[in-house]
Amino acid sequence: MFALARHAVTGHRRWPLAWRSPTPRRRYQVVIVGGGGHGLATAYYLAKEHGISDVAVLEKGWLGGGNTGRNTTIVRSNYLLDANAHFYEHSLKLWEGLSQELNFNVMFSQRGVLNLAHSDPQIDAFLRRGNAMRLNGIDAEWLDRDAVARRLPLLDCSDRARFPVLGGLLQPRGGVARHDAVAWGFARAADARGVDIIQNCEVTGIRRDGNRVVGVDTSRGHIAADKIGIVVAGHSSRLAAMAGLRMPIESHVLQAMVTEPVKPVLDTVVTSGAAHMYISQTDKGEVLVGGDLDGYNSYAQRGNLPQIEHIVQAAISVFPFLSRLRLMRTWGGIMDMTMDGSPIIARTPLAGLYFNGGWCYGGFKATPGSGWCFAHTIARDQPHPLNAAYTLERFASGRLLDEKGAGATPGAH
């Protein structure tokens, strides 16, 4: 408060920097490619958990300017499969202490995540997933239709609804967080431990010496490194191709949108898989709506209008009050969709090169857990048990993590 008043007098020109902007050195022990939440978290945990602070984070644009700033900020761990449940629950536990850990308010709000059930088979599937969650020590509650209606007074629970509500699976500890703050908090905390964060530095090539990587070519010159971590979300395939690797990934555009801000009307994150829609209200009051992929490969960070119309129709059919609101903004982000819908945090066939990507729709909630596991994988040159299943080799060996049971398709969550 006093600082705000003091800096107002000087026209806000003398705020101290939250992190340095160093000139890149010619050599680092570890180079992290990608300055989003996952890359910054990786650098932070490398320094904190493994004592490796000779680290550079290279970001082609600005921190958190990619998917970190484009996601719909949902945090949850409501997974069926054991490997996913354990990993995402670890991440959720890190979220619960993250503001204290980073001394930066990431505005983590555990308002609950509710999946709506619209059919009897869906009820069976949700109960099965809820039971699996509880067996893995994760909170899950089944709400019948009346309980859902009490919790969400504006939801259309009538018999005439286009998507009749039969109940819902609630994870009370799920919620939302402030996405920019996550990037800034990890950046400041990593910088304080000696990590060099270098923005406007695009990686253009990965240098190899036989079967080992030795450094990266960047728009600011060559940087040598003992170990390189790729964590670039939608551009995963392109970075991997620089090292001669072909990935089980397609890049697709996913859109989201917000309405004009209104008074508090929705205190839970609500999803409807059947309607292809999920929704929450931001702290600013905007109603935030997302849906499914546009449906074709894209690197454009913008989508098409028919998909927006589809998502808006679904949202209005579930929450009729939305029809009175105007859309204020829409945007798109590039998802690195793996062929089984689960991520990759792993070593690669090249010594010294590590890969973190394939987060599909759901990278934001994984941010602290992903950085924590990736840091372990890089520092020890072997995965932690929590990410041991997220290998590249699983596609060849058949040990897929296919939550949806949909087979080889780059469209699953």
Please give the residue ranges that form the binding site for another protein (CB under 8 A).
235, 237-238, 241, 246-251, 295-300, 304-306, 339, 395-396, 408, 410
Choice between 259 and 307, CB closer to another protein: 307
Least distance (Å) between residue 336 CB and another protein: 9
Rounded to 5°, the CA angle 69-366-307 comes to: 50
Strand partners of residue 116 = 168
Least distance (Å) between residue 286 CB and another protein: 25
Choice between 39 and 410, CB closer to another protein: 410
Q: State how far the Cα of 87 lies from the Cα of 119, in Å rounded to an integer.
A: 29
Choice between 7 and 276, CB closer to another protein: 276
Residue 368's nearest CA partner among 181, 152, 192 is: 181
Least distance (Å) between residue 73 CB and another protein: 26
On the CB side of 296, how many CA atoms lie within 13 Å of its CA? Answer: 5
Choice between 109 and 297, CB closer to another protein: 297
Choice between 241 and 328, CB closer to another protein: 241
Tokens of 383: 């995965």
Least distance (Å) between residue 357 CB and another protein: 11
Q: State how far the Cα of 297 lies from the Cα of 116, in Å rounded to an integer.
A: 29
Least distance (Å) between residue 241 CB and another protein: 8
Rounded to 5°, the CA angle 295-301-304 comes to: 50
Q: For tokens 């190899």, what's the residue?
A: 208
Residue 310's nearest CA partner among 326, 294, 329, 334 is: 294
Rounded to 5°, the CA angle 100-200-369 comes to: 30
Q: State how far the Cα of 310 lies from the Cα of 313, in Å rounded to an integer.
A: 5
Q: Are 332 and 301 in contact (CB under 8 A)?
A: yes
Q: For tokens 């650098």, what's the residue?
A: 43
Least distance (Å) between residue 282 CB and another protein: 28
Q: For tokens 């001394």, what's the residue?
A: 103
Least distance (Å) between residue 92 CB and another protein: 29
Q: For tokens 């109960």, what's the residue?
A: 127
- Extended strands (E) in 309-406: 327-338, 344-347, 353-357
Choice between 52 and 253, CB closer to another protein: 253
Least distance (Å) between residue 238 CB and another protein: 6
Choice between 92 and 350, CB closer to another protein: 350
Choice between 35 and 332, CB closer to another protein: 332
